[in-house]
Amino acid sequence: MAERTPWSLSGALRGMFAKKTIDETTWDDLEDALIHADFGPDVTEEVVDDLRAKVERYKTTDPKDLQRMLREGIEERLAKLDPTLKLTERPAVVLVVGVNGVGKTTTIGKFARFLRTYDRKVLIGAADTFRAAAVEQLATWAERAGVDIVRPQAQGQDPASVAFQTVEKAKNEGYEIVLIDTAGRLQTKGGLMDELSKIRRVVEKQAPIAEVLLVLDATTGQNGLAQAEAFIEHAGVTGLVLTKLDGSAKGGFVLAVQDKTGIPIKLVGQGEGIGDLTGFTPHVFAQKLVG
Ligand code: GDP
């Protein structure tokens, strides 16, 4: 992971940080780099204003100071929200939501493996029941991760009933963490949100929902934010998972998305392999982003 950081700003800013002194072009260059990296106009303006004020206050002209202040400022912004997964309930039920193609199935597979490495007994529920291929793909990931899965008994079975059966099995058989995949057909947004609400209601009759994780594709940048809103409004999202950061030059999306949604990023996907999922650590992220 350390080798592949195309989302790092340090490439775009290297020239600037290597200069002898901070001058007027510095601020334009910085603004361009942040916009290009998908910080979004609001966060970009705040970050640049904040840095200008600090540079004045500390009367520095050294671009190295600017780099350090940028890194610290980004870390501080990100650390305002708590990225810790709350998985203490037994079973801890996690609903995974998001539109098709963002990397939901892959994330569940990676997450299951991640939890297995901590010796957790994990059960996956395949509640995206309309796409037979989706169930098969999820089953393949479950096998790779070495965890069990509850499949629909028939294609198109009520997703809420699959979720119910999954949680029931988890309670009866002592599974510690339940990951429930859900549908992501955005064409029928109203229907999808109703379906998610029903799943929530049915699950909550048996166990509290520990987390609702919304998966977002970092390469979709600001468009992903529009998608996020509907889920946040209707699905009770508690955390975000950003996928495909490895293929994106848009690391600033991390700040934009936390700023706009007020919801913490809890997991980050950086590749298609089963090991390419990590928790989100503001300090590490800021360090990698800014250098
Ligand atoms: P779903 O429709 O949301 O379930 O999406 P999938 O899990 O099937 O993923 C869609 C595509 O994105 C697949 O080709 C995955 O291999 C790919 N993908 C998922 N997560 C990542 C990631 O973190 N990095 C990269 N590069 N590709 C990813």
Residue linked to tokens 């990225």: 83
Count: domains in the chain: 2
- Do 261 and 120 share a structural domain? yes
pTM for this entry: 0.93
- Do 96 and 70 share a structural domain? no
Q: Is 77 in the pocket of ligand 1 (CB under 6 A)?
A: no
Mutation test of ligand 1: which of 1, 104, 106 has the most ligand atoms closer than 8 Å to its C-beta?
106
Q: pLDDT digits over 127-181, tens only?
A: 998 888 899 999 999 999 999 999 999 888 999 999 999 999 999 999 999 999 9
- Do 184 and 133 share a structural domain? yes
Q: Is residue 84 part of a domain?
A: no
Confidence at residue 241, expressed as pLDDT on a 0 to 100 scale: 97
User: Given 45, 78, 111, which residue is the final one in a domain?
Assistant: 78
Query: What is the average per-residue pLDDT within 259-277?
Result: 95
Q: Is residue 87 part of a domain?
A: no
- Do 38 and 163 share a structural domain? no
* 71 contacts 154 by C-beta, under 8 angstroms: no
Axis crossing angle, helix 132-145 with helix 104-116, rounded to the nearest 10? 20
- Do 107 and 60 share a structural domain? no
- Do 120 and 73 share a structural domain? no
Q: Which of 45-54, 130-139, 243-252 has the lowest mean pLDDT?
A: 243-252
Mutation test of ligand 1: which of 272, 277, 278 has the most ligand atoms closer than 8 Å to its C-beta?
272
- Do 259 and 133 share a structural domain? yes
CA distances from 142 to 6, 126, 189, 230, 237 (A): 30, 10, 28, 29, 24
Residue linked to tokens 């992971």: 1
Q: Is residue 2 part of a domain?
A: no
120 vs 52: CA distance, rounded Å: 48
User: Which residue has a Cα nearest atom 19 of ligand 1?
Assistant: 103
Query: What is the average per-residue pLDDT within 44-62?
Result: 94
- Do 113 and 176 share a structural domain? yes
Q: Is 270 in the pocket of ligand 1 (CB under 6 A)?
A: yes
Tokens standing for residue 92: 């801890």
Confidence at residue 19, expressed as pLDDT on a 0 to 100 scale: 84
Q: Is residue 276 part of a domain?
A: yes
Confidence at residue 187, expressed as pLDDT on a 0 to 100 scale: 65
| ipTM for the complex shown | 0.99
Strand ordering across the sheet containing 277-279: 148-150, 122-126, 177-181, 92-97, 209-217, 239-243, 265-269, 277-279
Q: Is residue 245 part of a domain?
A: yes
Q: Is 103 in the pocket of ligand 1 (CB under 6 A)?
A: yes
Q: Is residue 147 part of a domain?
A: yes
Q: Is 271 in the pocket of ligand 1 (CB under 6 A)?
A: yes
Residue linked to tokens 């509640």: 127
Q: Is residue 255 part of a domain?
A: yes
User: Given 51, 78, 105, which residue is the final one in a domain?
Assistant: 78
Q: Is 40 in the pocket of ligand 1 (CB under 6 A)?
A: no
**Do the annotations mark residue 181 as ligand-binding?**
yes
Taking the CA of residue 99 as reference, the ligand 1 atom at the shortest distance is: 3
Confidence at residue 189, expressed as pLDDT on a 0 to 100 scale: 65
CATH number, residue 30: 1.20.120.140
User: Given 25, 43, 78, which residue is the final one in a domain?
Assistant: 78
- Do 100 and 35 share a structural domain? no
- Do 219 and 96 share a structural domain? yes
Query: What is the average per-residue pLDDT within 65-81?
Result: 95
- Do 103 and 70 share a structural domain? no
Domain extent, residue 155, equals: 92-290
Q: Is residue 3 part of a domain?
A: no
Query: What is the average per-residue pLDDT within 62-77?
Result: 94
CATH number, residue 112: 3.40.50.300
144 vs 109: CA distance, rounded Å: 8
- Do 173 and 74 share a structural domain? no
